[in-house]
Structure 1
């Protein structure tokens, strides 16, 4: 095993390989235990394996650390990682902590931790890379950086006190939203809230969309109303509606009032429909164009990188206005059909004549059958006046059909029968519910069941 000093922050995201060279997973953290008179001892790594499962890899199973990769003996316990008492995660819990120098020279913030091998299969913390406070309030000023031994400092972190998450966020920078959500949920509750507080509104919104609704509510309830409204503005309207429906009437209305008017209007429209209908499942952000728009214009719109693949699979053609609820819905044009025609071809001549929209009060079961029967990834939703109000995408339907805990499922549990989402009110009455209070009342009284 290499005896070189290794910095923990640089291990985050490094690949883990077995002796045959096959990739096992990626490092997400380093686990240490404190000792009274010596530097903390490294006991293992948190490794993310396929399926987004995080497992514990004992340091004794590691044969080499270096060159941006970790080699193991090939034996890994695939049980999901659970932090034990006395164990501390370096990236999640140590980086960003404030420490005091024992010589009385002041304080500093831990920016990185170096570990080194002291014997076969034995590693410990060797040094801390710390930064002193800025000497002046100037935005260009930077505090002095230096190395310190563990014995040179005292941890001054008070339980419950805010801890900087800057360096932890740097390790999460390359994570996809679903992986970021899992990483946040793996943190201790207080640390999770600290990290959520430092995430940008857009990044936090992406992560919340991938969390179970109970965890969404827990985080949102810790945010000030203004910040919570800003985050909801960044979420997809249907996800924001799901989340607001879990809040109290008073907080839900308060947040809607603080949101951007256009975003709030979309959410209110979704909340007006029973959640087990097309109107309750749909998103209000499809691509909408006029019949005179050209193929070139349509392709330019679906090329936007922020557009979800399911929404980019087709464009909706309507009469003006072109914001839901639009003018009369004319039809959809699939992107594959656009690819077969010259750039100047009018989209109004390429409408899919076989695809009929679904009414907003159509049941979720009916929408599922249409998507499956015609091999679609989205279906348009219209109101009683045949105006486009949104589209239901395949991911909306899957989210509805899958069990509550599908995001945390390891993939080896027996399949559960389809059931309604947490905000679903199972009722034969599919008329729109006009207020949040009515919506929540119906949801609370309704039993769980299936379509």
Structure 2
């Protein structure tokens, strides 16, 4: 990049695509890495953390960055694919510098860091953080109170201190468009202190979605740091099978205490799942499939399938049962696949197109048999029915995959083999 290039605020770089010289996308910017220096000297920007297409986070030195403009980053094309490991002397700019409470040197007033700006030094390839965008008062990005101003790095102090109660609003604003799995990946790589702060700032539904994508150790750590009432609310927002999996990692007394705080209906679903062996259809199933009565129409079924909060696997088919409609239902009559719903007129009754030939699974069906069932019938979900003929739930292919992969597969995904930046 030429000398005298314009100043860039780092919040504008979050999620920006990274390309090689021929225009092929390498990944996206996940964070930036800076090294704080003695006194009030501006930090040196060391490089970028780039999430490549495999979701591995790798380090790209600033010396390999040839362009930062127009919503994209251009590299030399030489990227070391070893996973990124933050060193003790380094700071993640988005993850650790934003939202800090720092002090204006001149007035002694505390301010909140909303953003920082980077600039390439003239006639050199080095980059520095030279400006800090702050807001006076106690408000973060979600607050409109307080004067905002941009100051030199040397005009503030406090970045080198380990802060307690650091806010998370600006970091959340940066990550708000990420999918739950990608936000979980970013959260996993923060320090434990910062991870808990950001998790506490997420709303219940968002935190529930993220917890479902985190390794078990991170799930237990975050849940244990929440107030018990909040923890119960988050468990209610999770899918019952995921909530049961998480609770199964806790001591029995902690399980019972949280279940008692949950809404009775939600707790009842989770208790039912906890009663089954983990690697059986009953332990794998969700208790919230789409259940319809025999007199429902194709139009009714399609309206249920269109619900945004349904996973693709659950939306792939509906289950026709006698009342009651909630699991455990009345007599299970059969399944109607989504493709069949698309082929029949809207007024058609689902009872007239139900597939009753496909045998359901019993709750004690072991995992290998569940896997064979889905493969043999080319299914992405399967009904689970008890001895009396009531539908208990449905096993989806994503839950089966979770249990077929090694126990630490999420950890492996986040921590690829190898270490260091490869500098």
Which 4+ runs in 1 deviate beyond 6 A?
411-414
Matches of 2:8 and 2:154 in 1, distance apart? 19
Matches of 1:162 and 1:51 in 2, distance apart? 34
Name the structure 2 match of 1:54: 57
Asked whether the equivalents of residues 62 and 71 of structure 1 are also in contact (C-alpha less than 8 Å), the reply is yes
Determine helix, strand or coil for the equivalent of 1:151: helix
Name the structure 2 match of 1:22: 24
| Residues 1:127 and 2:131 are matched in the alignment | yes
Asked whether the equivalents of residues 98 and 113 of structure 2 are also in contact (C-alpha less than 8 Å), the reply is yes
- The one of 366, 388, 391 equivalent to 1:388 is 391
- The one of 259, 264, 270 equivalent to 2:262 is 259
Shift in Å, 1:400: 1.1
Asked whether the equivalents of residues 291 and 321 of structure 2 are also in contact (C-alpha less than 8 Å), the reply is yes
1:101-140 alignment to 2 at 5 Å?
A: 101-118=104-121, 119-133=123-137
Matches of 2:338 and 2:400 in 1, distance apart? 21
Change in 2 beyond 3 A, CA 1:363/1:140? closer
Change in 2 beyond 3 A, CA 1:134/1:362? closer
Asked whether the equivalents of residues 100 and 156 of structure 1 are also in contact (C-alpha less than 8 Å), the reply is no
Name the structure 2 match of 1:350: 353
Determine helix, strand or coil for the equivalent of 1:285: coil
TM-score (norm: length of structure 1) = 0.88
Name the structure 2 match of 1:167: 170
Determine helix, strand or coil for the equivalent of 2:91: strand
Matches of 1:372 and 1:43 in 2, distance apart? 48
Shift in Å, 1:30: 1.0
| Residues 1:211 and 2:176 are matched in the alignment | no
Determine helix, strand or coil for the equivalent of 1:65: strand
| Residues 1:202 and 2:205 are matched in the alignment | yes
Matches of 1:172 and 1:147 in 2, distance apart? 23
Change in 2 beyond 3 A, CA 1:273/1:412? closer
Asked whether the equivalents of residues 19 and 74 of structure 2 are also in contact (C-alpha less than 8 Å), the reply is yes
Asked whether the equivalents of residues 62 and 121 of structure 1 are also in contact (C-alpha less than 8 Å), the reply is no
Matches of 1:320 and 1:223 in 2, distance apart? 39
Determine helix, strand or coil for the equivalent of 1:82: coil
Shift in Å, 1:302: 0.2
Matches of 1:15 and 1:362 in 2, distance apart? 45
Change in 2 beyond 3 A, CA 1:250/1:412? closer
Shift in Å, 1:36: 1.3
Determine helix, strand or coil for the equivalent of 1:283: coil
| Residues 1:243 and 2:246 are matched in the alignment | yes
Name the structure 2 match of 1:9: 11
Determine helix, strand or coil for the equivalent of 1:404: coil
| Residues 1:374 and 2:377 are matched in the alignment | yes
Shift in Å, 1:413: 8.5
Aligned residues: 411
- The one of 25, 33, 38 equivalent to 1:31 is 33
Matches of 2:398 and 2:67 in 1, distance apart? 41
Determine helix, strand or coil for the equivalent of 1:44: strand
Matches of 2:374 and 2:287 in 1, distance apart? 18
Provide structure 1 residue ranges, at least 5 long, that are not aligned to the other structure: 415-451
RMSD: 1.8
| Residues 1:325 and 2:328 are matched in the alignment | yes
1:272-291 alignment to 2 at 5 Å?
A: 272-291=275-294
Shift in Å, 1:94: 0.3
Superposed CA deviations along residues 312-368 of structure 1, whole A, max 9, x for unmatched, are 111001111011111011111101111111110000011113211111111111111
Matches of 1:350 and 1:393 in 2, distance apart? 22
| Residues 1:193 and 2:158 are matched in the alignment | no
Provide structure 2 residue ranges, at least 5 long, that are not aligned to the other structure: 418-423
Asked whether the equivalents of residues 282 and 363 of structure 2 are also in contact (C-alpha less than 8 Å), the reply is yes
Superposed CA deviations along residues 384-426 of structure 1, whole A, max 9, x for unmatched, are 2110010111111111111022224359999xxxxxxxxxxxx
Name the structure 1 match of 2:311: 308
Name the structure 2 match of 1:429: none
Determine helix, strand or coil for the equivalent of 1:409: helix
Q: Which structure has more RCO (C-alpha within 8 Å, separation ≥ 6)?
A: 2
Asked whether the equivalents of residues 359 and 381 of structure 1 are also in contact (C-alpha less than 8 Å), the reply is yes
Name the structure 2 match of 1:363: 366
